Amino acid sequence: MKPETRVAHVLPVYSESGVNLLGGAERYVVNLTGELARQCQLTLFTFGPRRLEENLDGVRHVVLPALGGPVDNPFPRSLFLELRRFDLVHAHQLRTAVTSELAMACRAMRVPLVATDLGGGGRSLMYRLGLHRWVERFLMISHFSLGLLPASASAASSPTRASTTSSKPRAPTFRW
């Protein structure tokens, strides 16, 4: 990736301050963004009661206002207009209100959206409205999570739209 490439990573978790490290998925995203920030202009977006900008171990971290909701599936107040300045948006957690709204916003703004399902989420309109059709690529961390995608988004129906970071079904190896 070129250093001038602007990438937004969106982690749909709610916290009163900082990043809510609920579990492995959130830690995975924080570690991933820390590594990727060396290769591009990267901003990590999470959600909270008010807008906040901070430096999180060398990563620009922006907290966008949310109406609350479950801590792992907040309902954003923002319409993501500031995402227009990014070349790519990467959503973590596919089945969330945030990612559903992102799919619509990125489509309207013509900004490519990629998604990684890390096993979390809750109520969303992603599958009910077929919003997954507007996700440019799916980057799944396991063959199990790849199997959770609808047939219209899975590697079986479109090998170029969905892939895993693992090379073998039983012994995943991760590429960065």
Give residue-wise pLDDT tens across range 25-67: 777 788 888 888 888 899 999 888 889 899 988 889 998 998 8
pTM for this structure?
Answer: 0.80
Does residue 72 have a pLDDT over 80?
Answer: no
**Cα 112 to Cα 109: distance, rounded to the nearest angstrom:** 9
3-state secondary structure (DSSP) of residue 42: strand
In a domain, 158, yes or no: yes
In a domain, 176, yes or no: no
Contact 44, 60 (CB under 8 A): yes
Contact 106, 113 (CB under 8 A): yes
In a domain, 156, yes or no: yes
Domain count, the chain: 1
Domain range spanning residue 69?
6-164
State the CATH number of the domain containing residue 35.
Answer: 3.40.50.2000
Q: In the beta sheet, which residues pair with residue 53?
A: 62
In eight-state DSSP terms, residue 17 is S
In a domain, 174, yes or no: no
- Over the chain, what is the mean pLDDT? 77
Does residue 171 have a pLDDT over 50?
Answer: no
Question: What local confidence, expressed as pLDDT, does residue 122 receive?
Answer: 67
Question: What local confidence, expressed as pLDDT, does residue 154 receive?
Answer: 56
**Cα 94 to Cα 82: distance, rounded to the nearest angstrom:** 21
In a domain, 59, yes or no: yes
